[in-house]
Chains A and B, each alone.
Chain A
Amino acid sequence: MIGVGKMKQYGNVLDKPLNKGKQEVSLSAFAFLFSEMVQYNQTQVDNIGELERRLEDAGYAVGARVLELLCHRDKGNRRETRLLGILSFVHSTVWKVLFGKVADSLEKGTEHEDEYMISEKELLVNRFISIPKDMGTFNCGAFVAGIVRGVLDGAGFPAVVTAHFVPMEGQQRPRTTILIKFAEEVLLRETRLG
């Protein structure tokens, strides 16, 4: 992390304050690391579905930790308990910490009550990645989908989260949409809470 060298050295990791300042890592370093991660996982699988699942699992671990950290640091050890609260938490707080900006849009699915979509014109992990034609609809955003699933699951909102390319009119590149489909129990609880 940039500026880590300047930080005071603490013997015990628990004595270290949870810095809130701007802590950015180099985009190139991240891009190379992510690329290697995808390449490694590619050697471990036989099909694209499995690769997507492995990336998602990698993201899940990040999401679970991000939730823990942000609830402690930004929200005074409280977490969102309502559906819209947690969604806007993911859309703004989580996105800002991970990608330095708020996600482009957060929408409710038109066909199903339990579906929500977070869309990003250019997802950071996809910035340098071109998917070969023979890989079809594969999207490395599966990693980000995993992060979102990790956050939601940790907060008590189990959901199925997937990443898709959505072609945009008048744009050369499709945008990435993170589709969140909540489990039935979440919606039942939500209606109960009123």
Chain B
Amino acid sequence: MAAIYSLYIINKSGGLIYYKDYGSSGRMDTNDSLRVASLWHSMHAISQQLSPVSGCAGIELLQADTFDLHCFQSLTGTKFFVVCEPGTQYMETLLKFVYELYTDYVLKNPFYEMEMPIRCELFDINLTQAVQKDRVAFLGR
């Protein structure tokens, strides 16, 4: 089973609202992760404009030598993306599941302020469970 390096959630204006890294490789400090988030936000927007296909929704998968980056954008413009080992499967399903957790444990929480960094205990607990390897495999079925 291939590994997930890190998970990001960015709001519709490109601000990082959630970052979590798993495992040792690809670890970044706060500044770097903020930079990656806003960089990805801009690249995503540019890709939409440059795409030869009309109605393009932006980059969904970026494949590099050392990592894969899977991105999922919700209807409201919140982007979820995960950096993982090349060739990792079921990442789309995982991202959709993270979106589901976000709608449940973040948006339904009266103490969460929209577009602000996510600090919700229940979201963390459920996310950790979801990212556990066997859980990823289970979701892919």
Chain A interface residues toward B at CB < 8 A: 28, 31-32, 34-39, 42, 128-132, 135, 140, 172-173
**Does the CB pair A31–B108 fall under 8 Å?**
yes
**Does the CB pair B119–A35 fall under 8 Å?**
no
**Does the CB pair A131–B108 fall under 8 Å?**
no
Interchain nearest-CB distance for B111 vs A (Å): 5
Nearest CB in chain B to that of A140: its residue: B110
The reply on B29 being an interface residue by CB < 8 A is no
Closest 6 CB pairs of A and B: A38-B110, A128-B108, A130-B121, A130-B120, A35-B110, A31-B108
Tally of B interface residues using CB under 8 Å: 13
Q: Give a binary string over B107-124; 1 marks a CB under 8 Å from any A CB, 0 the rest.
A: 111110000000111110
Task: Determine the chain B residues whose CB is within 8 A of the CB of A36 once the complex forms.
Answer: 110
**Does the CB pair A130–B111 fall under 8 Å?**
yes
Cα(A130)–Cα(B119), bound, Å: 9
Task: Determine the chain B residues whose CB is within 8 A of the CB of A173 once the complex forms.
Answer: 122, 125
Chain B interface residues toward A at CB < 8 A: 104-105, 107-111, 119-123, 125
Interchain nearest-CB distance for B124 vs A (Å): 8
Given contacts A38-B110, A42-B110, A135-B111, contact A128 B105 (CB under 8 A): yes
Interchain nearest-CB distance for A35 vs B (Å): 4
Task: Determine the chain B residues whose CB is within 8 A of the CB of A130 once the complex forms.
Answer: 105, 109, 111, 119-123
**Does the CB pair A132–B119 fall under 8 Å?**
yes
Given contacts A128-B104, A130-B120, A132-B119, contact A35 B109 (CB under 8 A): yes
18 inter-chain pairs at a CB distance below 8 angstroms, sorted by A residue, are: A31-B108, A34-B110, A35-B108, A35-B109, A36-B110, A37-B110, A38-B110, A129-B108, A129-B110, A129-B111, A130-B111, A130-B119, A130-B120, A130-B121, A130-B122, A130-B123, A131-B121, A135-B111
Task: Determine the chain B residues whose CB is within 8 A of the CB of A31 once the complex forms.
Answer: 104, 108
Cα(A188)–Cα(B92), bound, Å: 64
Task: Determine the chain B residues whose CB is within 8 A of the CB of A172 once the complex forms.
Answer: 125
Cα(A36)–Cα(B108), bound, Å: 9
Cα(A17)–Cα(B37), bound, Å: 57
Task: Determine the chain B residues whose CB is within 8 A of the CB of A38 once the complex forms.
Answer: 110-111
Cα(A128)–Cα(B101), bound, Å: 10
Nearest CB in chain A to that of B123: its residue: A130
Interchain nearest-CB distance for B43 vs A (Å): 32
Nearest CB in chain A to that of B120: its residue: A130
Cα(A146)–Cα(B104), bound, Å: 25
Cα(A42)–Cα(B109), bound, Å: 13
Cα(A174)–Cα(B27), bound, Å: 32
